[in-house]
Amino acid sequence: MPLVAHTPLPTFDLLREQGEEVLELGHALHQDIRELHIGFLNLMPNASFKATERQFLRLVGSSNQIVQFYIYLFTIEGVDRDEDTQKYIDSYYTDFDSIKEAGLDSLIITGTNPANPNLEQEPFWKPLGEVVDWANSNVTSVLCSCLAVHAIVKQLHNIERQRLERKRWGVYSHRITHTRHPLLRNINTRFDVPHSRNNDISAEQLRAAGFEILAQGPESGVHMAVSPDMFRIVFLQGHPEYDRISLLKEYKREVNRYFVGERENYPDSPENYFTPEVDQIVDSFKIRLEQTKVNGQSPPAFPEQEIEPYLDNTWRDTGKSIFDNWLGLVYQLTNVDRHLAFTDNVDPDDPLKIK
């Protein structure tokens, strides 16, 4: 059921244009429907900040629960922001102090691009730890993506992520390993998920700390796991939120980084993602790009529009089902009485703030 546009966030309008159901605040307040209040901690870098916001909100809004979803977007210090992204945050995001005061039913934490070999060296490490400590005691369930998984298991269980020999990048097949867990209700026993990471938390490390592995693959490793209490924290090392062209956009950025000298080698193609037709296109483009680089010329235009028709999304339906199951469990386990305070505290004149 629908997201509620309780702030002027532009993503709500974009999702409407894409066919998603989004309720206006006035309409939502007059419906006799229970709501869930979900925090969204966006740690992604500037280039993918808005896209990640849209992708996760779409997954939440596609859930089939008979409930209204209020999303509270915030970020923390320690992630570099350019002027445009910071202006967007100042206009449409709230702050963690307001989140703590009002409370949440659940929380989503995105990944980000690490800049240091050890997570404790990251500027966002301490602020993220404060969010995790608070959420661990005050939120029904936390869903973590990619680097957020690595940060939380380090903080709560002192598990060190392991550097991979090569980047795990592409679309990988996974199998369910726990058929009776409620998060996997009506999920295909085999499904695809994109991955994009340089580090890994292994099944052995997680099991040693009492975690339950729900889905993993022979190439990708663990995709989905849950904390020892079976629900408080849900880990996703993969990216079910990705759009069909997300890996293509990332590949394009890496090619551009190579051309300007920010990386030494030409990037490999994402695994199990490009078709033979796309391989021909990108191989031809690589030859032309290398020639212009040697000759000191401007790079040719990346053939994005030529590639797009050959790409498939083989993971979105499973991602929707997992989010549906997760929010269904949050709905069942969250204290109903507390929701009256949320509705009373919505300020129609300034919906970004919680009274």
Annotated active-site positions, please?
A: 146, 239, 241
Nearest CA to 112 out of 16, 218, 198, 35 is that of 198
- Contact at 8 Å (CB) between 107 and 142? yes
Q: How far apart are CA 303 and CA 299, in angstroms?
A: 12
Instruction: Collect all residues with Cβ–Cβ distance below 8 Å to 289 and sequence separation of at least 6.
Output: 255, 259, 299, 300
Residue 347: CB atoms within 10 Å: 11
Residue 107: CB atoms within 10 Å: 26
Pairing of strands 3-5, 22-24: parallel
The 3-state DSSP class for residue 104 equals coil
Q: How far apart are CA 201 and CA 86, in angstroms?
A: 32
Q: How far apart are CA 168 and CA 312, in angstroms?
A: 19
Q: How far apart are CA 23 and CA 8, in angstroms?
A: 12
Sheet holding 141-145, edge to edge: 22-24, 3-5, 68-74, 35-41, 106-109, 141-145, 233-236, 221-226, 212-217, 162-176, 190-200
Nearest CA to 75 out of 86, 64, 67 is that of 86
Instruction: Collect all residues with Cβ–Cβ distance below 8 Å to 97 and sequence separation of at least 6.
Output: none
Identity at 185, one-letter amino acid code: R
- Contact at 8 Å (CB) between 53 and 80? no
Q: Please report the beta strands in the chain, taking only residues with DSSP state E, as ranges in sequence order.
A: 3-5, 22-24, 35-41, 68-74, 106-109, 141-145, 162-176, 190-200, 212-217, 221-226, 233-236
